[in-house]
Amino acid sequence: MLNIVTCFKWVIDEAYIKVGASRELDLEWADYKLSDYDRNAIEEAMRIADIEGGTVTAVTVGSSDATKGIKDALSRGPEKAIFINDPAFTDLEPSQTASLLAEVIASRLQYDLIICGEGSSDLYAQQVGPRLAELLDIPCIAFVSKLDIKERQVIAERKMEDGIEVVTAPLPALVTVLPDINSPRIPGLKDTLGAAKKSVISIGKEELTGMAKPHLETTAIEAATMERHCIKFNPDAEGIKQFVDALLKEGVMG
């Protein structure tokens, strides 16, 4: 029986971000989604729980905007959710998120295995998992593409630039997972309906020792623009010749 904790974030869906007239990002129309790789994290938690037996608890830090995200996460299988919820818990930096998670997980949950996505699809700072492991003082294995538990040891394959490393660490441990570790399910209708009935424990700021001060200060956010010619050619021999001529003119051929 394993107590598995999986952390997720409810993020702005970058597909809906528009660029304003003066290169500012227009988030007014943005919709939210469960961060892509957190879907893999939840799926992996469910997979391990299926094999090893155990319970899965999903934990998130956010403001009340994230209630939908909690249902989304629960519809993917976890038994219950912990919602570290305060209006102040938006736009946190990774160190703050990690410290809130650490306090709640340490004080309220039994855990053998913590699974996080390798990074969130909004900030993609890839810090929360490793920072959380440090704060809890447990072994950390990041960027895992294959995961097994054997005799209370994590056996993980991680893909590094120079090859694959198979590593092991004793439980309790934290892993962050890569997207190719599994294919997250698309929740069925009953999964979504059932999610509303699962237990969600909400923990407010007043129940915590206080939020860590930010280290970072964002001084600006602007749109990343690219100016390109955007010229299209036909797929016939003539069009391809024009295309090749354009490359020759640019001086990037031969």
Partner 1 sequence: MATDYAPSMQQAGVGSLHEKKGDVGMDFKLTEEQELIRANMREFARQYVDPIAVEIDENSRYPAEVMAKLAEGDWMGMPYPQEYGGAGVDYVTYACVIEELSRSCAATGFTLSCHTGLASGPIYYFGTETQKQKYLAPLCKGQHIGAFALTEPGAGTDVGAGSTTAVLDGDEYVLNGTKTFTSNGPVADTFVIFAVTDKAAGTKGMSAFIVSKDTPGLKVGEHFMKMGIRASQTSEIILHDCRVPKENLLGKEGQGFRIAMQTLDNGRIGVAAQAVGIAQAALDESISYSKQRIQFGKPISKNQAIQWMLADMATDIAAARFLTYYAAYLKDQGQPYSKEASMAKLFAAEMASRHTSKAVQIHGGYGYVKGQKVERLMRDAKITEIYEGTSEAQRMVIAGSILR
Partner 2 sequence: MAGVWVLAENRDLTIELLNIGRDLADKVSARLTAFLPGDRDRGQEYIDCGADEVLVLPALNPEQTVDAYIPVIVDEGRREQPDIFLLSGTLRGRELAARIAARLDTGLCSQCTALNIDEKTGLLVMERLIFGGAGIQKVVCQTRPQMATIAPRTFEPARRQNREGKIRELPASPESAVKILERKPKDRAAGSITEAKVIICVGRGIEKQEDLALVNKLAAATGGEIGCTRPIAEELHWMPEDTCIGLSGKQVKPELYIGVGISGQIQHITGIRDAKVICAVNNDDQAPIFDAADYGIVGNLYEVLPELTRQLEKITNK
Ligand X SMILES: Cc1cc2nc3c(=O)[nH]c(=O)nc-3n(C[C@H](O)[C@H](O)[C@H](O)COP(=O)(O)OP(=O)(O)OC[C@H]3O[C@@H](n4cnc5c(N)ncnc54)[C@H](O)[C@@H]3O)c2cc1C
Residues found near ligand X in the complex (CB under 6 A): 36, 121, 124
Q: How far is the CB of 156 from partner 2 (least distance, A)?
A: 9
Please say whether the beta carbons of 43 and 76 come within 8 A: yes
Residue whose CB is less far from partner 1, 68 or 152: 68
Please say whether the beta carbons of 130 and 140 come within 8 A: yes
Q: Could you tell me the sign of the dihedral formed by the alpha carbons of 45, 1, 58, 73, in that order?
A: positive
Cα 172 to Cα 100: distance, rounded to the nearest angstrom: 19
Cα 62 to Cα 215: distance, rounded to the nearest angstrom: 19
**Quick one: which of 16, 124, 233, 243 contacts partner 1 (CB under 8 A)?**
16
Residues between 29 and 48 that touch partner 1 (CB under 8 A) = 29, 31, 33
Q: Classify burial at 10, counting beta carbons within 10 Å of its beta carbon; exposed 0-12, middle 13-18, buried 19 or more.
A: buried
Q: Which does 244 bind (CB under 5 to 8 A by kind): partner 2, partner 1, ligand X, none?
A: partner 2
Phi-psi group of 218: left, alpha or beta (phi > 0 → left; psi -120 to 50 → alpha; rest → beta): beta
Residues between 50 and 109 that touch partner 1 (CB under 8 A) = 67-68, 71-72, 75
Q: How far is the CB of 233 from ligand X (least distance, A)?
A: 14
Q: Which residue is nearest to ligand X (CB)?
A: 36
Q: Which does 134 bind (CB under 5 to 8 A by kind): ligand X, partner 2, partner 1, none?
A: partner 2
Tokens, residue 118:
């390798």
Q: How far is the CB of 73 from partner 2 (least distance, A)?
A: 21
Binding residues for partner 1, rule: CB under 8 A, are 14-16, 18, 29, 31, 33, 67-68, 71-72, 75, 186-193, 195-196, 232
